[in-house]
């Protein structure tokens, strides 16, 4: 197959069907509007997914009988007394430690305090087999057992370099799941972990890639071709070669070897041993200078943050904005609407006469949509898996200002236009640099004396412009005037760190970080989530660069998650839309601290 070309993989029910499709479709021209494409078909034996370097998956590593013995070896009914293994009930799972206790307050182990009880004897035959098969060259001395109920997961993380040696073994028991591996350059590799399989992480996959499990109740996995006809599973729904698999209770056995010397791996950027031992503050990102920088900034300061704050964020997003509702109510009954960046789906049910579908980059927010009965899926706003010319209307509410370069913001508008049918309309809202317009202050400025998180207010706050309930804003240096035709020229921007701006005052910068303070006291589950988003080049900081802490009355600290924004100047959104061919700006307006446009596709 020619390199650097996009492919779609199709599975047929039989070889005969595949041959007929190849005969009738290969080389045929397909017409889509004014465009025509030639369809080429080629046979492949299997679809290969490129795993992270030095990651291995061994299916059926233990037998069903061994699985029963291992699960029975863990007594979840015992308390933390005597020689029993320490047990914790975390927000997203429950956990037991053997050999050494892993401490979530500092993401490390106390190497001088081994636990009285060693690893369960039932684990020894499995570990000796790992040794014989060459998966490890020394027996592990630490075991963490995690139990996940349906809908639970674990945040993306890298096992602390200074705490454990190279190879990490993870045994999946009880049920299958999907684990996501993420590279710093933005690559994501989902790996299906079947029941009784062994995952072996070494080298780059252990030291550089984060791994985590998204909390959800269903996973989309390849259909099992070897499943016998008389042993169907009622929790599987197959469609087109993929299977919607309902999660069950999964127990993972993670075996590690305690490290007693500093780590000297080949990945110093992610290594706490090689990053120095003195405390350091959360890193301050710079404005991106290239595509790779932009994707990294957005991954850390947009995508991860919304997954972490999804529940609290959703609780503050309940009132649809009136002018958005007016746009939706004016659409013809039966119109197809796509809400790109739908959040918790608050606009998907405004007009029940529409056929609505939403998408969002945050799987946690999409899960909330599903629980509310809305049709939504996980997708990047730059590449929405819907057909061209398929929607009567699209909305993008408080989304495009999260893209960190002008090119990416322009691509987001182009994608909305691609989805529209000729004559279809799109409504776009972005946060405005001008928070005072026509001598009227936005709610953001009016709430200058709003109480901070943790304080009581006599008046119930109303949901206003984006963002909502933030006590402070981090921004860059002063606004520059490097514009070409009304659009900012990123090539003339000097590298600038994102720094602090006084809360609820007029902006002096367009590129900024907006903190999200979780309400009330920090719970144990939030501590776990914060520790999962850690910065690996700062050993004394357990928080991600996008996570900080602040004090609330009484002295307690709460996590603060920083979100990237580009606030738009007057006329900038219109100029952005004009750059897209085949679309007309019908109207533009300022609505409570947002710049808004309605586009129509020609």
DSSP secondary structure string, 42-66?
Answer: ---S-----PPTTEEEETT-S-HHH
Structural class in CATH, domain 294-442+563-601: alpha beta
* CA of residue 420 relative to chain centroid, distance: 27
Spatial distance between the Cα atoms of 107 and 144, rounded to a whole number of angstroms = 13
DSSP state of 268: G
263-272, 501-510, 565-574: range with highest mean pLDDT = 565-574
Q: Which of 43-52, 373-382, 416-425 has the lowest mean pLDDT?
A: 43-52
Residue of higher predicted confidence among 226 and 341: 341
Spatial distance between the Cα atoms of 107 and 162, rounded to a whole number of angstroms = 10
User: By percentage, how much of the chain surpasses pLDDT 90?
Assistant: 45
Spatial distance between the Cα atoms of 396 and 431, rounded to a whole number of angstroms = 12
79-83, 111-115, 534-538: range with highest mean pLDDT = 111-115
Residue of higher predicted confidence among 365 and 289: 365
Predicted confidence at residue 291, as pLDDT, reads 87
Q: How confident is the model at residue 340 (pLDDT cuts 50, 70, 90)?
A: very high
116-130, 448-462, 482-496: range with highest mean pLDDT = 116-130
How many CA atoms lie within 13 Å of 98's alpha carbon, on the beta-carbon side? 20
Q: Report the alpha-carbon angle 578-339-391, nearest 5.
A: 70
Q: How confident is the model at residue 233 (pLDDT cuts 50, 70, 90)?
A: very low
DSSP state of 227: -
Contact 305, 516 (CB under 8 A): yes
Average pLDDT rounded to a whole number, residues 191-213: 93
Contact 498, 63 (CB under 8 A): no
Question: Among 57, 72, 73, 88, which Cα is nearest to 169's?
Answer: 57
Predicted confidence at residue 273, as pLDDT, reads 86
Kind of pairing between the strands at 336-340 and 355-360: parallel
Average pLDDT rounded to a whole number, residues 232-238: 39
Spatial distance between the Cα atoms of 348 and 371, rounded to a whole number of angstroms = 13
Q: Which of 309-318, 319-328, 527-536 has the lowest mean pLDDT?
A: 527-536
Tokens 């059926």 — which residue?
60
Q: Which of 5-9, 109-113, 255-259, 321-325 has the lowest mean pLDDT?
A: 5-9
Say yes or no to pLDDT of 123 above 50.
yes
Element housing 169 (H / E): strand 168-173
Element housing 418 (H / E): helix 406-419
Predicted confidence at residue 2, as pLDDT, reads 53
Q: If DSSP codes are grouped into helix, strand and coil, which group holds residue 226?
A: coil
This prediction has a pTM of 0.52
Q: How confident is the model at residue 556 (pLDDT cuts 50, 70, 90)?
A: very low
Predicted confidence at residue 42, as pLDDT, reads 81
End-to-end CA distance of the chain: 37
Average pLDDT rounded to a whole number, residues 467-492: 39
Predicted confidence at residue 36, as pLDDT, reads 78
Average pLDDT rounded to a whole number, residues 127-138: 95
Q: How confident is the model at residue 230 (pLDDT cuts 50, 70, 90)?
A: very low
Q: Report the alpha-carbon angle 75-79-84, nearest 5.
A: 65
Average pLDDT rounded to a whole number, residues 124-150: 95
Spatial distance between the Cα atoms of 275 and 252, rounded to a whole number of angstroms = 30
Q: How confident is the model at residue 561 (pLDDT cuts 50, 70, 90)?
A: confident
Predicted confidence at residue 415, as pLDDT, reads 97
Average pLDDT rounded to a whole number, residues 539-551: 50
Q: If DSSP codes are grouped into helix, strand and coil, which group holds residue 502?
A: coil
Q: Which of 88-92, 321-325, 382-386, 439-443 has the lowest mean pLDDT?
A: 88-92
Element housing 549 (H / E): strand 547-551
Q: If DSSP codes are grouped into helix, strand and coil, which group holds residue 510?
A: coil
Predicted confidence at residue 582, as pLDDT, reads 94
Contact 166, 136 (CB under 8 A): no
Is the domain spanning 55-223+240-270 CATH 2.60.120.1520? The answer is yes
Q: Is 412 exposed, middle or buried (0-12, 13-18, 19+ CB in 10 A)?
A: buried
Contact 142, 114 (CB under 8 A): no
Spatial distance between the Cα atoms of 478 and 496, rounded to a whole number of angstroms = 10
Q: If DSSP codes are grouped into helix, strand and coil, which group holds residue 395?
A: strand
Longest dimension (CA), the chain: 76
Question: Among 440, 401, 412, which Cα is nearest to 569's?
Answer: 401
Spatial distance between the Cα atoms of 152 and 217, rounded to a whole number of angstroms = 8
The CB density around residue 47, as the number of other CB atoms within 10 Å, is: 10
Predicted confidence at residue 219, as pLDDT, reads 83
Say yes or no to pLDDT of 475 above 80.
no
Question: Among 357, 360, 350, which Cα is nearest to 419's?
Answer: 357
* CA of residue 555 relative to chain centroid, distance: 31
- Tell me: the pLDDT tens digits for 3-62? 555 667 777 778 888 889 888 888 888 876 777 778 888 877 665 567 888 999 999 999
Contact 343, 360 (CB under 8 A): yes
Q: If DSSP codes are grouped into helix, strand and coil, which group holds residue 190?
A: strand
Residue of higher predicted confidence among 129 and 278: 129
Predicted confidence at residue 583, as pLDDT, reads 95
Predicted confidence at residue 447, as pLDDT, reads 61
Question: Among 463, 476, 450, 462, which Cα is nearest to 288's?
Answer: 476
DSSP state of 258: B
Q: Which residues pair with 380 in a beta bridge?
A: 383
Share the mean pLDDT of the chain.
79
What is the residue extent of each domain of the chain? 1-48, 55-223+240-270, 294-442+563-601
Say yes or no to pLDDT of 83 above 60.
no
Q: Which residues pair with 181 in a beta bridge?
A: 189, 211
- Tell me: the pLDDT tens digits for 263-289? 988 888 788 888 733 333 345 678 888
Residue of higher predicted confidence among 264 and 393: 393
Q: Is 591 exposed, middle or buried (0-12, 13-18, 19+ CB in 10 A)?
A: middle
Say yes or no to pLDDT of 555 above 60.
no
- Tell me: the pLDDT tens digits for 143-199? 999 999 998 888 888 999 999 999 999 999 999 999 999 888 777 888 999 999 999
Spatial distance between the Cα atoms of 7 and 43, rounded to a whole number of angstroms = 12
Residue of higher predicted confidence among 446 and 361: 361
């Amino acid at each position: 197959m020619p390199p650097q070309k996009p492919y779609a993989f199709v599975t047929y029910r039989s070889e005969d069907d595949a041959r007929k499709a190849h005969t009738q479709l290969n080389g045929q021209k397909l017409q889509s509007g004014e465009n025509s494409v030639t369809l080429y078909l080629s046979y492949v034996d299997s679809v290969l997914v490129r795993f992270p370097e030095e990651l291995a998956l061994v299916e059926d590593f233990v037998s069903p009988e061994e699985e029963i013995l291992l699960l029975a070896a863990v007594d979840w009914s015992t308390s933390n007394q005597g020689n029993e293994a320490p047990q914790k009930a975390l927000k997203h799972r429950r956990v037991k430690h053997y050999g050494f206790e892993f401490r979530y307050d500092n993401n490390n182990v106390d190497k001088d305090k081994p636990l009285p009880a060693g690893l369960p004897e039932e684990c020894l035959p499995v570990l000796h087999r790992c040794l014989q098969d060459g998966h490890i060259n020394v027996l592990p001395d630490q075991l963490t057992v995690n139990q996940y109920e349906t809908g639970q997961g674990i945040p993306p993380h890298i096992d602390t370099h200074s705490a454990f040696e190279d190879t990490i073994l993870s045994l999946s028991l009880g049920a299958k799941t999907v684990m996501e591996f993420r590279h710093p350059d933005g690559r994501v590799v989902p790996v299906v972990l079947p029941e009784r399989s062994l995952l072996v992480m070494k080298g780059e996959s252990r030291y550089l890639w984060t791994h985590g499990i998204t909390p959800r109740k269903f996973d989309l996995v390849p259909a099992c071709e070897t499943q016998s006809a008389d042993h169907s599973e009622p929790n599987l729904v197959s469609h087109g070669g993929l299977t919607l698999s309902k999660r069950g209770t999964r127990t993972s056995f993670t075996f590690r070897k305690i490290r007693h010397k500093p780590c000297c791996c080949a990945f110093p950027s992610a290594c706490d041993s090689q990053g120095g031992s003195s405390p350091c503050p959360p890193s301050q990102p710079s404005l991106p200078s290239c595509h790779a920088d932009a994707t990294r900034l957005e991954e850390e300061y947009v995508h991860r943050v919304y997954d972490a704050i999804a529940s609290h964020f959703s609780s503050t997003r309940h009132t649809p904005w009136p002018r958005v509702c007016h746009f939706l109510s004016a659409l013809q009954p039966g119109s197809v609407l796509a809400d790109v960046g739908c959040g918790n789906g608050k606009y998907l049910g405004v007009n029940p006469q529409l056929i609505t579908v939403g998408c969002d980059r945050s799987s946690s927010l999409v899960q909330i949509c599903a629980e509310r009965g809305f049709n939504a899926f996980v997708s990047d706003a730059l590449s929405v898996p819907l057909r061209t010319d398929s929607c009567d209307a699209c909305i993008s509410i408080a989304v495009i200002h999260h893209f960190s370069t002008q090119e990416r913001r322009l691509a987001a508008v182009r994608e909305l236009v691609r989805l529209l049918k000729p004559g279809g309309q799109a409504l776009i809202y972005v946060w405005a640099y001008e928070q005072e317009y026509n001598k009227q202050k936005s709610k953001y400025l009016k709430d200058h004396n709003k109480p901070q998180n943790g304080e009581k207010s006599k008046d119930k706050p109303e949901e206003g412009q984006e963002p909502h309930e933030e006590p402070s804003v981090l921004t860059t240096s002063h606004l520059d005037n490097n514009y070409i035709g009304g659009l900012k020229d990123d090539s003339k921007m000097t590298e600038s760190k994102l720094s602090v701006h006084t809360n609820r005052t007029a902006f002096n910068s367009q590129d900024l970080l907006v903190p999200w303070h979780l309400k009330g006291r920090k719970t144990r589950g939030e501590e776990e989530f914060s520790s999962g988003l850690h910065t690996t080049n700062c050993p004394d900081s357990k928080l991600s660069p996008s996570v900080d802490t602040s004090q609330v009355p009484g002295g307690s600290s709460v996590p603060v998650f920083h979100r990237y924004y580009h606030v738009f100047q007057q006329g900038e959104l219109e100029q952005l839309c004009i750059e897209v061919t085949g679309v007309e700006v019908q109207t533009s307006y300022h609505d409570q601290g947002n710049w808004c446009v309605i586009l129509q596709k020609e």
